Structures are given as structure tokens and as C-alpha cells.
Amino acid sequence: MTAHRLRGDAGFTLPELLTTMWIAMVILLAGFALLEFVMKRATETEQRVEATQRGRIGMDLITRQLRSEVCLDANTPPIVDGTATQVTFYADLGNSTASSLPEKHVLTFNSATKEITEDVYQPIAGKPVTWKTPTTRKLITGVTQDSGTPVFQYFPYDPTRTVTTALATPLKASGNVPKVARITISYRTVPLRNARADVAVPLADDVYLRVVNPNPPEPVVGTYTPTPTCS
């Protein structure tokens, strides 16, 4: 009876056990690799969504300021000066009267802090073209330059929509302030934590100056090229 029970207690041989363990380890490793991949992609998607939302909010703030540009007076255009990382302009975001001065705004991209900030200069009543100490606020954080594209670019009026060469900067020093008809804003937003280059989101938008009238005078002149005018 004892011998019969021993012969009936058949089990795995050593090669079978090793093969089973090897197959189980392969399945476990594949499962862990898949889990790591899914978690990584989920994190990247979350970071990309956050960067996109923050970038769009920042772009809305920047374009809103620029679209509020106004002339300082009948002879002074809204753009004061501009470079690849900074633009200075006059803006009216309130209910100013015809006799009051607009504010002076300065948008600045800081590559070291990865921020775009806005300085707002309020006019001093009774003193023409005199400004108070500016107040500064952050419009957007976690931004970088989009490859070699300047954050701010300035273009002249282009009826053919074929001009791709930006005006030389600084605008004031190069005499290009009166020629500006369009400002292009470009940057990339990166996640605020664990930033990765492949998660950065590029954004760009255009702002057209309201003081440029594209309609030619009557009679129509074939070579007419409108320029910003405050009159």
C-alpha cells in the first residue's frame, strides 16, 4: 500500500519547474514594463494638458493687452519700442476720457526665470508724459523661446500676405516704429514640475494694430501702402 501511494504522488521535475518559473518571470516583467509605460504616458498627457491650458491663458492675457493699444496723442503711435524679448506700448483698458492719458505697458520675456511679466505705468495727472512707478505682475510662468523664433516679432502692412521677414529691432533705434502693423507672439510652455523638452507646447498668435487702416484713399492709388496713423 505504501509503495502504491508513493508511485501515485507524481510531481514536477526540476526542468519543468525551472521552465514554469522562467515563463512566469517573463510575464511579470512584461506586465511591469507595460504598467511603467502607461503611467509615463499618463503623466506626460497630464503635463501637456496643464502646459497647454496655462499657455493659452497667458496668450489671451498678452494679446488682450496688445489689442488695447492706443495712440498717446495725434502724433505718437501706440508702439513705443520693441525687441525680440520686450515690447513697450500705450494701452487703454479702462474708460479713459478724450483728455486723459493712456497707460504705458511693457511686456518682457525673461529667459532666466521663464516668465513673461507686465509693467504698467500710470500717468501722473497734470504732468504730460510723466509716469508713476510701475506695478509688475506675472502674465505666465514656465515659458521658453520656441527654438530660434523670437518671442516678439514685428511686421509691416502686407496686402499680399507674403512678407515673412520681420522688421529689424530695436524698433526705435532702427526707425521701424511707424511701420509696425502686426505683432507676432511665439513661445513654448513647459510643465512647472518635472519639465521635459518633449512635453513643451508651442503657441503663437498675431495682433494687428488698430491704427492701420487697410482701405486705400479715393481715388485708389495702385502703390498705396497704409501706415499706422493716429490722426
Residues 6+ apart with CB under 8 A from 204: 146, 184, 185, 186, 187
13 domain residue, yes or no: no
And the C-alpha cell for 25?
518571470
Please state the domain count of the chain: 1
Q: How are the residues of the chain apportioned to helix, strand and coil, as percentages rounded to the nearest 5?
A: 30, 25, 45
Confidence at 98, pLDDT banded by 50, 70, 90: very low
* Predicted confidence (pLDDT) at residue 198 exceeds the cutoff of 70: no
Confidence at 104, pLDDT banded by 50, 70, 90: very high
What's the domain range around 94?
Answer: 42-208
Question: What are 112-125's pLDDT values in tens digits?
Answer: 999 999 999 998 87
Half-sphere exposure of 99 (CA within 13 A, CB side): 3
30 domain residue, yes or no: no
7 domain residue, yes or no: no
18 domain residue, yes or no: no
Q: Please tell me the pTM assigned to this model.
A: 0.74
The average confidence (pLDDT) of the chain is 81
Residues 153/165, Cβ–Cβ less than 8 Å:
no
User: Is 151 or 97 the better-scoring residue by pLDDT?
Assistant: 151
Question: What are 135-170's pLDDT values in tens digits?
Answer: 999 999 999 998 889 999 999 877 666 667 899 999
Cα-only R_g, the chain = 31
Confidence at 37, pLDDT banded by 50, 70, 90: confident
Residues 6+ apart with CB under 8 A from 162: none
3 domain residue, yes or no: no
Q: What is the pLDDT of residue 209?
A: 84
Question: What are 42-62's pLDDT values in tens digits?
Answer: 677 777 888 888 999 999 999
Residues 59/203, Cβ–Cβ less than 8 Å:
yes
23 domain residue, yes or no: no
Please measure the distance between the N-terminal and C-terminal CA atoms of the chain and give it in whole angstroms: 117
